[in-house]
Amino acid sequence: MADSGLWVGVLTSVTALGAGYITAKATSRATLAQARMTTTAEALREQRDRRRSTYREMMQCAHAFSEVTWQIDAVDAARDREVKDRLLTEMYERIGPSIGEMNKANHEIRLDGPAEVSDAAERVRRMALRLQPRLKALIGADDPERRREYDASYVDFREAYVAFIGLAREALEVKDDPGGERRRR
């Protein structure tokens, strides 16, 4: 009888040790999974904040560029060719630095991505660069064709800018995936 009790005690102890080992292993895995999830969530939050900052910078640069182009209304209101040319020259001198700032912002977006937003930012930059010589061509010119080219280039710039904003907003949105977990692009 003593042998049976001994075996029951041994089996009970071995079972308790096995159950303790399995519980410890499961707890360790759960803790590791929680740590990974927390680390991933923090990395995604940092990525989103960095992207938001670079997208805002690009938007500020595009707005500064637009502020220069909006002065075309003052040019149109001027009756004297000399005044028009002076205003156009001032615009042309101010547009270069705004494109330079846009170039810097565009480089940051290339690093932060995603690719669709980077491509859209590059298109905004290219459209701004395309507009610059058309502005210069207006200085001293009364040719309506040159003005149409300028206006068309501005429309292209504006459309590229609006597309960039939409893609940037989409890249920053938090979406639910089919598994129910929240993720960011």
Q: Tell me, what's the pLDDT at 27? A: 79
CA 34 to chain centroid, in Å, comes to 29
Instruction: Give the range among 4-18, 30-44, 55-69, 138-152 with minimum mean pLDDT.
Output: 4-18
Stretch 141-156: mean pLDDT, rounded? 93
Amino acid at 41: A
Q: Tell me, what's the pLDDT at 2? A: 60
Residue 183 has pLDDT above 80, yes or no: no
SS3 166: helix
Place 169 in a pLDDT band, splitting at 50, 70 and 90: very high
Q: Which long-range contacts (CB under 8 A, 24 or more apart) does 68-74 make?
A: 68/94, 68/95, 68/98, 69/95, 69/131, 69/135, 69/154, 69/157, 72/150
Per-residue pLDDT reduced to its tens digit, 6-56: 777 777 777 877 777 788 787 778 877 788 888 888 878 888 888 899 999
Q: Tell me, what's the pLDDT at 68? A: 94
d(CA 76, CA 150): 13
d(CA 23, CA 138): 78
Domain hosting 179: range is 2-184
Stretch 63-88: mean pLDDT, rounded? 93
CB atoms within 10 A of CB 87: 19
CA-based torsion, 20, 26, 32, 34: positive or negative: negative
**CATH label of the domain that carries residue 155:** 1.20.120.340
Residue 181 has pLDDT above 70, yes or no: no
Greater confidence (123 vs 40) lies with 123
% pLDDT > 70, the chain? 93
Query: Which of 43-52, 77-86, 118-127 shows the highest mean pLDDT?
Result: 118-127
Residue 155 has pLDDT above 70, yes or no: yes
184 φ/ψ angles, rounded to the nearest 5 degrees: -125, 155
Total domain count, the chain = 1
Residue 180 has pLDDT above 50, yes or no: no
Place 104 in a pLDDT band, splitting at 50, 70 and 90: very high
Average pLDDT, the chain: 86
Is 131 buried (19+), middle (13-18) or exposed (0-12) by CB count in 10 A? buried
38, two tokens: 């927390």
